[in-house]
Amino acid sequence: MTDRQRSDRTLAEALAEGTVHEIEVAWADPYGRAQGKRVPAARYQGPAAGRGFAFCDGSLAWNAVGEVQEAALLGDPAGGYPDAYAVPDPATYRPLPWRPGAGQVIADIVDHHGEPARTSPRAVLRRVLDRLAGLGYTARAALELEFYLLRADGSPLQDGLHAYSLELANELDPLLGRFTGELTGFVPVEGALTEYGPGQVELNLAHQEALTAADDAFRLRYAVKELARRQGLLATFMAKPFNGHSGSSAHIHLSLWRDGTPAFAPEEGRESKAARAAIGGLVRHLPGLTLFGAPTVNSYKRYEPGGFAPVRADWGGDDRRVAVRSLLETPAASRIELRTPAADANPYLALAAALGAVAVGLEDGLEPPDPRDPAAALPATLAEAVTAARADERLAEVLGRDAVHDHAVLAASEWQAYTSQVTGWETDRYLRYA
């Protein structure tokens, strides 16, 4: 029995036995934040088996501070923000570790015409996975998420800088212990470590079928924030919260499988044909896909030359300085790590864009460039990323033009809000000197 079948049965059993009193019907907004409705168990089955749970479709077309952008298609202003429907995927059911008797299920979104909402993040990922399936592949993925644990007022909890420090890890207890304890029934955490910044933590997730991997990253961010809140702390997935301290990434490890065999298994000691096509697709389309792993103004402040966050569309072997890291290991563990996505990314969109570029690499028979050739610069700002995403017709064909249009509109609204403000940096720098 697969994990999906198991949790499917768990939900039906929990409802039948009356061991669950409430279900959170959850979906990701454009920025990967958990949205949803709390539904009493007795009111769940009707809508879940029918049209789904109604909500205002503006929730799928708002920017980082919740301002609905009318130019985004799904908001469909002509239609007056009609209902969209959250249709639970029962295989995603998990009991909530912090509220006994409550569970969560992740929903797919259907628009008011009854069609899958083509710009909703989970739908974009499904579309790419269908395309890969058409090529004969299933994708597996594992995400590593970094974040800062802060005091409730936003100040750092620690001042030490020691990645992998078990002593600093102890200082973060009891919360850190929860991430490798009760949280593992909700998401498959494989490891927890202190990262380089003060109070920065990294959690590694197990590799899973790609849709589940994105669901896990979505759940993880929600759960970490909630467990921290219950402890009187603030967990932030902001990409670069502090000047002078490392940013937070969402590295994605990818592999393709054909009929249960690993398509990235090394061939004659080097990357397989499928792996080379995947690397070729990723490297060529990195400028266009960057937006989907780096959706805010702040995401771009993480990229620093000479650091661990890449600034070029380059690739290499076991090298943490490049954007696309090819890890040749045992056949089943050989994989590609994409290091551009930031922790503030929507995991569905980041994974969809990465796998979209992989699909393009396979379809177009691409090869990795010679690593000694000069590599293209990645977009250095959100505005450059929007331009690059809009210019990448081939990637848009795979992700869906409407999805690229909408998410570019949201990002452009972030950029507009940012550039229209006079900042403290400007007054500090220019007021007395102009």
Ligand X SMILES: NC(=O)CC[C@H](N)C(=O)O
Enclosing H/E stretch for 142: strand 138-151
Of the residues 105, 309, 354, 411, which one makes contact with ligand X according to CB under 6 A: 309
Which residue, 161, 172, 163, 150, is CA-closest to 198? Answer: 161
State yes or no: residue 236 binds ligand X (CB under 6 A). no
Q: How far apart are CA 418 and CA 413, in angstroms?
A: 9
State yes or no: residue 290 binds ligand X (CB under 6 A). no
State yes or no: residue 146 binds ligand X (CB under 6 A). yes
Q: How far apart are CA 47 and CA 119, in angstroms?
A: 23
Of the residues 247, 288, 293, 341, which one makes contact with ligand X according to CB under 6 A: 247
Footprint (CB under 6 A) of ligand X, residues 405-434 = none
Q: How far apart are CA 394 and CA 288, in angstroms?
A: 9
Of the residues 302, 325, 335, 407, which one makes contact with ligand X according to CB under 6 A: 302
Q: How far apart are CA 367 and CA 350, in angstroms?
A: 22
State yes or no: residue 246 binds ligand X (CB under 6 A). yes
Of the residues 81, 98, 242, 308, which one makes contact with ligand X according to CB under 6 A: 308
How far apart are CB 146 and ligand X at their closest, in Å? Answer: 5
Helix (H, G, I), strand (E, B) or coil at 364: coil
* Site map 104..143 versus ligand X, x via CB under 6 A: ----------------------------------------
Footprint (CB under 6 A) of ligand X, residues 38-77 = none
How far apart are CB 339 and ligand X at their closest, in Å? Answer: 6
State yes or no: residue 208 binds ligand X (CB under 6 A). no
Q: What are the tokens at 278?
A: 């995947």
**Cβ closest to ligand X, residue 249 vs residue 346:** 249
State yes or no: residue 241 binds ligand X (CB under 6 A). no
User: How is 47-61 classified by DSSP, letter by letter?
Assistant: HHHTT-EEEEGGGGS
Q: How far apart are CA 411 and CA 63, in angstroms?
A: 7
Of the residues 236, 249, 272, 296, which one makes contact with ligand X according to CB under 6 A: 249
State yes or no: residue 320 binds ligand X (CB under 6 A). yes
Q: How far apart are CA 195 and CA 65, in angstroms?
A: 28
Which residue, 203, 206, 176, is CA-closest to 188? Answer: 206
State yes or no: residue 253 binds ligand X (CB under 6 A). no
Q: Could you count the other beta carbons within 10 Å of the beta carbon of residue 170?
A: 11
State yes or no: residue 151 binds ligand X (CB under 6 A). no
The count of residues interacting with ligand X (CB under 6 A) is 9
State yes or no: residue 242 binds ligand X (CB under 6 A). no
- The residue type found at 229 is R
Q: Which stretch binds ligand X (CB under 6 A): 13-21, 44-52, 301-309, 389-397?
A: 301-309
Helix (H, G, I), strand (E, B) or coil at 111: coil
Footprint (CB under 6 A) of ligand X, residues 164-193 = none
How far apart are CB 336 and ligand X at their closest, in Å? Answer: 15
Q: Could you count the other beta carbons within 10 Å of the beta carbon of residue 260?
A: 6
**Cβ closest to ligand X, residue 112 vs residue 301:** 301
Q: How far apart are CA 320 and CA 305, in angstroms?
A: 13
Positions in the binding site for ligand X (CB under 6 A): 146, 246-249, 302, 308-309, 320
